[in-house]
Amino acid sequence: MDVELTKISPKGQVVIPRGIRNGLGIKSGTRFAVFGQDDTVVFKRLDLPSAEEFRRLTRETSKLAKRRGITRKDIGEAIMEVRPGK
């Protein structure tokens, strides 16, 4: 594991050193989930699926929902159950 030093800017921004960005293939616009606990901060890159992979996943999910008898109405009701303040 590579270790390099960085610091946080007055705007709360963190620079990921070039060597680590290049080694991990991190480009401008890459999205991350950020986890913090005690004195540790972890950035987890969110790799989004390609357009074709997304279409494949939605087709599979639609087929599974149909087999299980899940309707659009069911999904809407489930969302409203967990939305705070709605």
Average pLDDT, the chain: 89
Residues of the chain with CATH 2.10.260.10: 1-47
Average pLDDT of the residues in 13-31: 90
Question: What is the per-residue pLDDT across 35-75, written as a single tens digit (0 to 9) for each?
Answer: 999 999 999 988 878 888 889 999 999 999 999 999 989 98
Which is more confidently placed, 50 or 79? 79
Cβ 26 vs Cβ 20: under 8 Å: yes
Q: Do 8 and 25 meet the contact criterion of CB atoms below 8 Å apart?
A: no
Residue 53 tokens read as: 């992979």
Sequence-distant contacts of 69-75: CB under 8 A, at least 24 apart: none
Least confident of 31-35, 56-60, 80-84: 80-84
User: In the CATH hierarchy, which fold is given to the domain comprising 1-47?
Assistant: Pemi-like Protein 1; Chain: D (2.10.260)
pTM: 0.51
Q: What b/e readout covers 62-80, taking b as 16+ CB neighbours within 10 angstroms?
A: eeeeeeeeeeeeeeeeeee
